[in-house]
Structure 1
Amino acid sequence: MRRHARKIPSTVRLSILTTLLALFMAWLALGNATRLPWDPRWYLTAHTAMEVFSVVVAMLVFATGWHGIGRDMPIRVALLSPSALAVGLLDIGHLMSVDGMPGVAGPGSVGHGIEFWLLARVVSAAALLVAAFAPRERTVGRRVRGWALLAALGIVALGFWLAVADPLGLPATYVAGQGLTTFKIGCELVLIVLNAVAALFLLRRALVTRLRTDRYLAATAAVMALGGVSFTLYVRPDDVVNFVGHVYKVIAYLCLHRAIWVAAVQAPYLRLQRSERSLAESEASFRSLMECAPDAILLVGAEERITMMNARAESLFGVARETAAGLPLDVLVPAAAGDAELDCRRLYGAVFPAEVRRAGMPSGQQVAIVRDLSERRRLERALVEQLTHDALTGLPNRNRILETLDEAIAAARQDGRTLAVLVFDLHEFRKINSGYGYGGGDDVLRECVVRLSCLLAGGDMLARQGGNEFIVVQKQSGETAAAALAVRLLESMREPFLLDGQRVFLAASVGIALPPANGCGAHELLQMAQVAMAAARAEGPTRYRFHTDAMAQAIRERVDLEALLRHGIERNQFALQYQPRVDLASGTVIGVEALVRWRHPVLGLVPPARFIPLAEETGLIDDLDMWVLDEACARAATWRAQGLPPLRVSVNLSARQFQQAGLAQRVQAALERSSLPPACLEIEITESTVMRDTGEATSVLRSLKALGVALSIDDFGTGYSSLSYLKRFPIDVLKIDRSFVSDVTADPNDAAIACAIIALAHTLNLEAVAEGVETAEQAAFLRENGCDEIQGYYFSPPVWPEQIERMFAEKTANGAMVN
Structure 2
Amino acid sequence: MPSAHELMVLTQKVLASLLSTASLAEQATLICQEIECIAPDAMASILRVDQQGALRPLAGQVQGLEGLALDSLCGNADDAVLADTAGATQECLHDTGVAPCAKRFWAAPVRSGDGRVLAMLVIQPQEAAMPSALHRSLIDACVPFCALALEREESRTRIERLTFHDDLTGLPNRRLLQARAGQAIAKAQRDRSPLAVLVVDLDRFQRINHSLGQPGGDELLRLVARRLGEGRRFCDIVAHLSADEFALVLPGCDAEQAAASARCLLMALGKPCRIAGVPFGLSACLGISLFPGDGLDVDTLVHRADMAMQRAKTCGLGRFCFFSEELQRSALELSLEEDLRIAIERNQLRLHYQPQVCFSDGRLRGVEALARWSHPRLGDISPARFVVLAEQCGLIDALGRWVLREACRQLADWRRRGLAVPAISINLSPSNFHDPGLPATIAHMLAQHGLRPGELMLEITESVLMDTTPAFLKILREVHELGVLLSMDDFGTGFSSLSHLHRLPVQELKLDRSFVFDLEHDGASRTLSDAVLHLGESLQLSVVAEGIETEAQRRILMQLGYQVGQGYLFSAPLPSAELESWLASRSA
TM-score by length of 1: 0.33
> Of the two structures, which has the highest relative contact order with CA contacts closer than 8 Å and spacing of 6 or more?
2
**More helix by proportion, 1 or 2?**
1
TM-score by length of 2: 0.46
